[in-house]
Amino acid sequence: MISQTAINALRKTEIGARGLFIDGAQTEATSGASLTVISPIDGRPFASIADGTAADIDRAVKSARKAFEKGSWSRAAPAFRKKVLTRFADLIEKHADELAVLGVRDNGTEIGMAYKAEPLSAAGTIRYYAEATDKVYGEIAPTAESVLGLIHKEPLGVVGVIVPWNFPLMIGAWKIAPALAAGNCVVVKPPEIASLTLLRLAELASEAGLPAGVLNVVTGRGAVTGEALGLHMDVEAIAFTGSGPVGRRLLEYSARSNLKRVFLELGGKSPNIVFADAPDLKQAAVVSANGIFRNSGQVCVAGSRLLVQASVYDRFMDELLSATTRLKVGDPLDLTSDIGAVSSAEQLDKNLGFVAKAAAEGARLVTGGDRILTETGGSYMAPTIFENVTQDMQLVREEVFGPVLGVMRFENEEEAVRLANSTVYGLASAVWTANLSTAHRMVRAINAGVVHVNTYGGADITVPLGGVKQSGFGRDKSLHALEKYLDLKTAWIAL
Ligand code: NAD
């Protein structure tokens, strides 16, 4: 774990102006323009990034294509890719303190969580896919004796990666690592408010021996660089995590350009369902509070709809309130803070808009609801709980992506399933019960990519993550994710 001494030494490091990373080196944006990076910790500027344009995306795609055609990565022995990716993971671990603090200055996540979820998780993901590199086999088809049917697995070509600001390294690695392991070349478009760690990641990849052009990073505004990547005629696939509206655009871009594949990991409004026979109500309350409030609720799988069985409702709400008020919101670079800053002033305003609307629609505010620690200049929000929320309220229908929880009560299993599935989303969920049969029935009944039982939010790289319904399609993580970045080619040979 990172120490407070290390954090204090790194938190004032001069960052300066960061360029793009194209063809193995830092480079200026074609326009020469830049974007100021403001830290949500204190609302102050501390760096700048290049404001890329469509011309920069084009340079990066050309570099990636050139590297792909050259073959020093795409056609290299898998054992070579494994070696380089393993060195890459080692270097990320070596620089974990630096990357974690840099990321927190950029997006405000509490350091305890960021340290594990960002550099360490990214290194683990890269190592996982590095190890898979030389274990992917082609197939021989069961044909008649007069022919030989071979199924080759080949990289797609150039893959575009577009990620959000909540966990840019972790989510970036979920896409970059399998794409590279499969032999593709990659162009990353980081989120405009949290680009710094992905730029540093590209430098470390280069230091690890990744050939020039195999991994490029173009910063800038989503509507400019993201759109240019989505519309590019020489990109074979886009792997995206972010909001539903931008996901829809990417599908349109694909249709308007070269029919590139698009994989979408979108938002959620995940139900967390507490039955009266939950093994330990107090523990369920503590984990549920963390499941919505960690990283200020800016977690795609956050359990933002809490459903509690009526017979234990009052008891559970007491436990939940006490668990919530114990959470310390504060400087994300202080190891004693449980919750850091909201990622930006704009996001905080958006959250407060949801609070105002929930109150206006008749929900009852149990705790929180306001901006706090204003004297810091940063963007901090108190963990917020509303009860008496109903199905027609905005708070139940729309993703806040902030520390705001809506609570409903239910009488029986049937009602719990109906409420849980009454959403356009289907990313995550949880069920708390001591009854094995109830747990298994709920796992089958809930429409979501993941159902947690007697926990919230745990997972590792070995299991897939992704949604159903309007939470998107395609899966990150696990060996299944590798398949997204490989194409099948048939050889039909007459003997
Ligand atoms: P966003 O959709 O606004 O931005 C995501 C990325 O898309 C950013 O890099 C942005 O620059 C880029 N972008 C913006 N406009 C674009 C355009 N016109 N064309 C191409 N790219 C464009 O989302 P956000 O606000 O950064 O992140 C929050 C959202 O991400 C939430 O909805 C959250 O649920 C979702 N999310 C989902 C997961 C998951 O695994 N399903 C994980 C984390 C976050």
| pLDDT 10s digits, 412-437 | 999 999 999 999 999 999 999 999 99
**Nearest alpha carbon, ligand 1 atom 42:** 300
Residue 458 has pLDDT above 90, yes or no: no
Please pick, among 265, 319, 387, 399, the residue that the annotation labels catalytic: 265
C-alpha closest to that of 61 among 200, 157, 179, 194? 157
Q: What pLDDT digit, counting tens, does each position of 152-195 carry?
A: 999 999 999 999 999 999 999 999 999 999 999 999 999 999 99
Nearest to 248 by CA among 266, 233, 224: 266
Catalytic residue among 300, 387, 399, 413: 300
Rounded distance from Cα 308 to ligand 1 centre (Å):
31
Task: Return the biggest CA–CA distance within the chain.
Answer: 79
Distance CA 458, CA 456 (A): 6
Tell me how far the alpha carbon of residue 244 lies from the centroid of ligand 1, in angstroms: 8
Task: Please give the backbone phi and psi of residue 476, each rounded to the nearest 5 degrees, phi first.
Answer: -90, 165
- 116/100 Cα distance (integer angstroms): 8
For residue 391, pLDDT over 90 is answered with: yes
C-alpha span between 454 and 438 (Å, rounded): 12
Which amino acid, residue 187? V
pLDDT-derived band at 295 (thresholds 50, 70, 90) equals very high
pLDDT grade for 128, boundaries at 50, 70 and 90: very high
CA distance 299 to 304: 10
Q: Give the rounded percent of residues in the chain with a pLDDT score beyond 90.
A: 99
Residue recorded with tokens 């149990």: 366
Whether the pLDDT of residue 483 is over 90: the answer is yes
Quick one: how far is CA 351 from the chain centroid? 19
Whether the predicted pLDDT of 98 surpasses 90: yes
375 in catalytic set: no
- Which pLDDT score, from 0 to 100, does residue 267 have? 93
Q: What is the pLDDT of residues 325-346, one digit of tens each?
A: 999 999 999 999 999 999 999 9
Taking only the tens place, the pLDDT of each residue in 214-233 is 999 999 999 999 999 999 99
Helix ranges (H only) for 334-466 are: 345-360, 394-397, 413-421, 436-445
Banded pLDDT at 198 (limits 50, 70, 90):
very high
For CA atoms 12, 17, 21, 27, the dihedral sign is: negative
CA of 221 to the centre of ligand 1 (A): 12
What pLDDT is attached to residue 145? 97
The 10s digit of each residue's pLDDT in 33-53 is 999 999 999 999 999 999 999
Distance between CA atoms of residues 158 and 294, nearest Å: 35
Are 141 and 155 contacting, i.e. CB atoms less than 8 angstroms apart?
no
Rounded to whole angstroms, how far apart are CA atoms 393 and 407? 12
Q: pTM for the complete prediction?
A: 0.97
**Mean model confidence pLDDT for the chain:** 98
Checking if the pLDDT of 69 tops 90, the result is yes
Separation CA 343–CA 136 (nearest Å) = 39
| Strand, coil or helix: 353 | helix
Q: Whose CA is nearest to atom 17 of ligand 1?
A: 223
Q: What residues line ligand 1, using a CB cutoff of 6 Å?
A: 162-166, 171, 189, 191-192, 222-223, 226-227, 230, 241-243, 246, 249, 265-268, 300, 399, 401, 427, 467
Would residue 185 show up in a list of annotated catalytic residues for this protein?
no
Which tokens is 106 given? 């950029």
Q: What is the mean pLDDT of residues 481-492?
A: 98
Strands 185-189 and 158-162: parallel
**Rounded to an integer, what distance in angstroms lies between the CA atom of residue 144 and that of residue 261?**
33
